[in-house]
Structure 1
């Protein structure tokens, strides 16, 4: 008898209930919307250098509310996607980790970061050794979201491997590794490391793009799956014997 994996893909809930598919669609929209929004803001904002400055700095200064809203909207869409994953896969850890990424985004929007790397113009490269309370909350919630994203890639990768879907297993694990390395480099750069500080924004954008691309493709993959076959009275797909 073949056992079901803890986070790997399973058939969608079926044609009678469109809600899971609508929730999965939120996962298709969230990443591209978030990335397009911060790229557009970075290109239009005076004195903002996308290669140097973090995405979070777009929430500072005039018009900063746009990026704050971008964080919150992307987070809410991701939470909806996580609910769709939970209903579609009937798993716990993978969807919970995706939901934690969404919660981290919302926290990053509610609590703004301190100025860093000289943006907004006229501010010091590093405001202080400890920073403000709202910036500390921003950093802790963001860090929790980053860790959840990396862990989600790994958990889904293990699930795909157990289902012998080696292409998706490799892609998931590689995405988690690339996300982690790029985000670590960004963190070092934002701490004003002389060798990396000029490219902190670039490293962060690479990490964010890797993570969002993986989530978006995962959502598309699940939307393309056919509805489930025969089910047990409890609503779970029958296991092949």
Structure 2
């Protein structure tokens, strides 16, 4: 549908995919600023989700909610821009990841490895929900990278990213008791956001420019 020389469908799709480019850098920068200024937080020992705990936990909750909304917008963009055999499952998987981000923020993890300072380690229903949502989210994001690969000019990179996200999460979960587990989770997080940024930009470029040439 064109309006005043602008293809509104293409403009909307591009705008939605643009949020996929922004989501990862936003989440990481927002989280790292908190991590470097929060007393007792150690990037080598604590995942960024631990920032949901403590008096300033609402800042990381805001990070999760906003990033989830951005990722959800990107999911719609993928579904609109890619062929049905790819777009629908990719949109559904990214939408699931976005939902898991929101739920992971609403259900914070349990205290771990001395963070927040002085908080006793325990197991709560909120912590269990957080872990389950995190697991489903990582698997959905990795699967999305595998599904979208067939439509990208560098499919092998997308497939590698998908495998790294899934393997990094599974390895991090298996070794969650030590620093190596946190390191593997970081690998999964960075690979996942890097893929979403690159894939969103690549799919964005396949959408026709929204400005429709006027007929003479």
Alpha carbons of structure 1 residues 135 and 204: separation in structure 2 relative to 1, 3 Å: same
Q: Counterpart in 2 of 1:154?
A: 146
Partner of 2:129: 137
Q: For residues 87-121 of structure 1, what are the alpha-carbon distances to aligned partners after superposition, in whole Å with 9 as ceiling and x for unaligned?
A: 11142101110111111100111111111222112
Residue 185 of structure 1 deviates from its aligned partner by: 2.6
Q: Which has the higher helix share?
A: 2
TM-score (normalizing by structure 2)? 0.86
User: Could you say if the C-alpha distance between residues 112 and 52 of structure 1 is closer, same or farther in structure 2, counting changes exceeding 3 Å?
Assistant: same
**2:161 is matched with which residue?**
175
**For the Cα contact (< 8 Å) 2:81–2:207, is it kept in 1?**
no
Unaligned regions of 5+ residues in structure 2, if any?
A: 1-5, 210-216
Runs of 4+ with >6 A deviation: none
1:13-70 Cα distance to aligned partner (Å, 9 max, x none): xx51111111111111111000111111111111111011111110101211111110
Deviation at 1:226, TM superposition (A): 5.1
- Please provide the CA RMSD for this pair: 1.9
3-state secondary structure, aligned to 2:7: coil
Shift of 1:202: 2.6
In the alignment, the residues of structure 2 paired with residue 66 and residue 58 of structure 1 have an alpha-carbon distance, to the nearest angstrom, of 8
SS at match of 1:92: helix
Per the alignment, residue 16 of structure 1 pairs with 7
Q: CA deviation at 1:133?
A: 1.4
- Is 1:74 the equivalent of 2:67? yes
What residue number does 2:206 align with? 225
Partner of 1:224: helix, strand, or coil? helix
- Aligned residue for 2:94? 98
Q: How far apart in 2 are the matches of 1:29 and 1:62?
A: 27
Contact 1:94 1:152 in 2 (8 A): yes
| Pick aligned residue for 1:84 from 77, 88, 100 | 77
Aligned to 2:213: none
Indicate conservation of the 8 Å contact 1:54/1:200, yes or no. no
CA contact (8 A) 2:175 2:181 kept: yes
Kept in 1, the 8 Å contact 2:94–2:144? The answer is yes
1:178-233 CA distances to partner (integer Å, 9 max, x unpaired)?
1122222321332x2xxxx02433322221110011011111112222518xxxxx
Report the Cα distance in structure 2 between the residues aligned to 1:105 and 1:113, rounded to whole angstroms: 13
For residues 30 and 172 of structure 2, what CA distance do their matches in structure 1 show? Answer: 20
Q: Displacement of 1:122 after TM fit?
A: 2.5
> What is the TM-score normalised by the length of structure 1?
0.77
CA distance in 2, matches of 1:226, 1:37: 30
Q: Secondary structure at the match of 1:113?
A: coil
